Amino acid sequence: MTAISQDFAPPFKLIAPYFIIGVVIYLLSAIFALFVDVSTLYFLDVAVLGWVHLFLLGFVMMIIFGAMAQLVPVVLEVGHFGVEFFYIIWPLLLIGTILMCIGFVYVPALLPYGGTVVLISMLIFVLDIFLTIKKVKKFNFAMTSVIIANIFLFLGVIVGIILALGYAGQIEVDINTLLKAHVYLVVGGYIIVTIMGLSMVLLPMFGLSHHFSCKPVEIALGTMSGGVILVVIASLFDIAIVAYLGYLFSIVSLFLYFYQGAILYATRARKEHDIYAISLYYSFSALIVSLILGIAYLLNGAQSILLSSGWLMMTGFFGFLITGHLYKIVPFLIWFERFSPLVGKEKVPMLADMVPNKSAKAQFFFSAIGISIATTGLLISSNILFKAGISSLVVGAIFLLQSLIYMIRFKK
């Protein structure tokens, strides 16, 4: 008999704070955006830096870390080195995120403190991942991506700390030079590489895709890693041509990842257009539009195009990919804890029964409309349009929180 992994589902009380805090911060980040003036916005504006850190650390990273507590054993097929580490990671990440956010917007002196707390939380996370990986005997694509992603995360956070110290005036560094390296290491190197790896486990599993080629995503992983390394080198040595080569690699990588998504879509057995599926449709569409805007920025250089591309990548691609998966992962964890012991003894609900369909669809509708309008607002630097979109996104975020609470409190 084939050996099977242990500890596939840590207790929900361990993971619940990551999802609850992540979704609350998703809502707060939408409210934060209501107060941003887009008519004069630029890439290094404190409002942009504050919002990006709130969204990426408080929502994206918080939920990725929580999901990894459950997914690492699934992906690596071994138990965590120390699953208890996850009890301390979220409080540190939360405190660090709040300090950094306040630091960017009001008190720059807080940035190194916030950055250090975030660094500690991420180092604990990376430590657990690497010590868990040590137990792995045979590596597959997802495992390789987890290793690469966590090396980039480690380096990205170190660069981030140096930046925070420079931003607070503690040391002298060229912020503009290091910023590109930081952004690429964390967003391209960690978040996107993690998404690539987990996608090859989760998308075929939930869509029941079979007999598909993995070549596009394998090349995508290589080109994204190459792109990140090139941009880091370009940042450190200030070589523009190498930076452009890195951007090109990253864009090619994301198009290849999109192509892999299309292959998984075409070979899937499950063809229902449920909340999970429609969230992925929006996410992948947002990825393509964001990439087109990114290419337009490289050709045109307008800040509004760069901002709308980045916004759509984060809220559209990352955001919907994460919220879509919440409707799969949260019911599973609750079901596993609450109902799996009852199997064979009494009738238990199916996972799909635990998803609040109306609330989930309202979340999708308001968020999708809101993000699309807000992207247009950013593109044409229209405050009215941007705020109209954000208002809709806030309503969507409230429905997301309501859906999460429903799933967590689900009883037969």
Partner 1 sequence: MITKEEIFQAVATVIDPEVGFNLVEMGLIYDAEANEAGKAIVTMTLSTRACPLHQMIVQWVKEAVEKIDAIDECEVNLVWEPVWNITMADDNVQKALGG
Residue ranges binding partner 1 (CB under 8 A): 1-2, 4-6, 8-9, 70, 74-75, 201, 204-206, 208, 210-211, 269-273, 332, 335-336, 339-340, 343-344, 348-352
Whichever of 364 and 386 has its CB closer to partner 1, that residue is 364
Whichever of 202 and 251 has its CB closer to partner 1, that residue is 202
Minimum CB separation from partner 1 for residue 285, in Å? Answer: 19
Q: Report yes or no: 210 and 204 within 8 Å, Cβ to Cβ.
A: yes
Minimum CB separation from partner 1 for residue 211, in Å? Answer: 6
Q: Report yes or no: 196 and 255 within 8 Å, Cβ to Cβ.
A: no
Minimum CB separation from partner 1 for residue 348, in Å? Answer: 7
C-alpha 204/C-alpha 201 separation (Å) is: 6
Minimum CB separation from partner 1 for residue 343, in Å? Answer: 6
Q: What angle do CA 348, 350, 352 make, to 5 degrees?
A: 150
Minimum CB separation from partner 1 for residue 258, in Å? Answer: 22
Long-range contacts of range 244-249, CB-CB < 8 Å, 24 or more positions apart? 244/298, 246/184, 247/294, 247/298, 249/223, 249/224
Whichever of 258 and 332 has its CB closer to partner 1, that residue is 332
Whichever of 2 and 40 has its CB closer to partner 1, that residue is 2
The end-to-end CA distance of the chain, in Å, is 35
Q: Using H for helix, E for strand and C for coil, what is the string for 295-341?
A: HHHHHHCCHHHHHHHHHHHHHHHHHHHHHHHHHHHHHHHHHHHHCHH
Whichever of 43 and 336 has its CB closer to partner 1, that residue is 336
- 126 phi and psi, to 5 degrees? -60, -40
Tokens 């992994």 found at = 5
Whichever of 180 and 328 has its CB closer to partner 1, that residue is 328
Minimum CB separation from partner 1 for residue 385, in Å? Answer: 35
Q: Report yes or no: 148 and 221 within 8 Å, Cβ to Cβ.
A: yes
Cα distances (angstroms) measured from residue 109 to each of 112, 167, 168, 281, 330? 7, 8, 5, 42, 38
Whichever of 70 and 363 has its CB closer to partner 1, that residue is 70
Whichever of 254 and 264 has its CB closer to partner 1, that residue is 264
Minimum CB separation from partner 1 for residue 360, in Å? Answer: 17
Short-list 319, 310, 268, CA closest to 290: 310
DSSP state at residue 10 = -
DSSP state at residue 187 = I
Q: Report yes or no: 132 and 146 within 8 Å, Cβ to Cβ.
A: no
Whichever of 5 and 39 has its CB closer to partner 1, that residue is 5
Minimum CB separation from partner 1 for residue 346, in Å? Answer: 13
C-alpha 50/C-alpha 30 separation (Å) is: 12
Short-list 250, 262, 185, 249, CA closest to 216: 262
Minimum CB separation from partner 1 for residue 273, in Å? Answer: 7
